[in-house]
Structure 1
Amino acid sequence: MAESTLTDSRILQAVELIWREADLLDRKDYHAWNDLYADDGIYVIPVETSTDDFDDHLNMVYDDARMRAMRVQRLTEGYAISAVDSAKTIRTVSRFVPLEVTDTSVSIRAGQVVVAYKRGNHDLWAGDVEYVIRFGATPADDKIVRKVVRLVNAEDVVLAAGFLL
């Protein structure tokens, strides 16, 4: 674990990007969400929560830039059933734990809870999320290089989510 604390301006800058991502997802601004990712960035939801070898293990989601673009297209063009009747969501991202802090990037772990509401029903999604944030010339240029969502119930039956975690 990094010695840095949340008073470190680099960590605060990373946390602000993470909160911006959560807000964009709740507002379903998927194009702006995708723009937060580096060209080499990945977004992963593994089934096996103890692995970091995503290439050789089963994942619910393993999106590179091409797959994220295709996902955004499905969610915004209105042809996918998950986009036509999508849930309203509210995300809380908290419990930030810095893992590695340099002048060019921050690796940080957080807890995330997503409450989704659709057709009179509430669903709850919770997990540990690991982020790697690469700093740009200005905070507006910062990018997500890696986001791994480890759902607490990933190894059980997980109902399909028509939204991004």
Structure 2
Amino acid sequence: MAESTTLTDTRTLQAVELIWREADLLDRKEYHAWNELYAEDGIYVIPIDTLTDDFDEQLNMVYDDARMRAMRVQRLTEGYAISAVDSAKTIRTVSRFVPLEVTDTSISIRAGQVVVAYKRGDHDVWASEVEYVIRFGETPADDKIVRKVVRLVNAEDVVPASGFLL
């Protein structure tokens, strides 16, 4: 464990600001800019088994590397997929940040996330614990998400389809 794992550590604050920027981009459906927040080797995962870290050997709702993220962004922005044409309006709240490991080059941090989605008069609520690994760049603008794991609280139940990213 690193020497400083508090929320007042500037590296932790830098990571929180990136996480909030990601949430804002997703709510505004700025998917190309969202994808730019990820490192080339970054992954975005929504596992079904909320206890696993072996995403290669388990079934996942989403397991996107750079190629799959690019394809997802293309589907969401070209307007040909029904999920993009009639997508929900969303508002994300990301909070309860717990730094797990902080070094000069990266941070591992856990947070709680609630996404409220509105579509055709109905609201859906998606609650999850999210784990991030962020690699620090030369400047905060160069920081990249290396890993984002969204562990839905109801992942093992029937989960309604979402036409948006969590």
Q: Percent identity?
A: 88
Alignment partners' CA distance in 2, 1:82 and 1:126: 20
Shift of 1:119: 0.2
Question: Match for residue 113 of structure 2?
Answer: 112
Counterpart amino acid of residue 123 in structure 2:
H
How many aligned positions are there?
Answer: 165
User: SS where residue 56 of structure 2 aligns?
Assistant: helix
Q: Which runs of 5+ in 1 are unaligned?
A: none
User: SS where residue 157 of structure 1 aligns?
Assistant: coil
Counterpart amino acid of residue 93 in structure 1:
V
Question: Match for residue 66 of structure 1?
Answer: 67
Q: Which runs of 5+ in 2 are unaligned?
A: none
Alignment partners' CA distance in 1, 2:80 and 2:125: 25
Counterpart amino acid of residue 21 in structure 1:
E
Question: Match for residue 129 of structure 1?
Answer: 130
Q: Tell whether 2:162 aligns with 1:161.
A: yes
Q: Matches of residues 133-144 of structure 1 in structure 2 within 5 Å?
A: 133-144=134-145
Q: Matches of residues 11-160 of structure 1 in structure 2 within 5 Å?
A: 11-160=12-161
Where has structure 1 moved over 3 Å in runs of 4 or more?
none
User: SS where residue 69 of structure 1 aligns?
Assistant: helix
Partner deviation per Cα, 1:28-56 (whole Å, 9 max, x = no partner): 00000000000000000000000000000
User: SS where residue 123 of structure 2 aligns?
Assistant: strand
TM-score of the aligned structures, taking structure 2 as reference length:
0.98
User: SS where residue 15 of structure 2 aligns?
Assistant: helix
TM-score of the aligned structures, taking structure 1 as reference length:
0.99
Shift of 1:4: 1.5
Alignment partners' CA distance in 2, 1:43 and 1:164: 10
Shift of 1:147: 0.0
Alignment partners' CA distance in 2, 1:127 and 1:17: 18
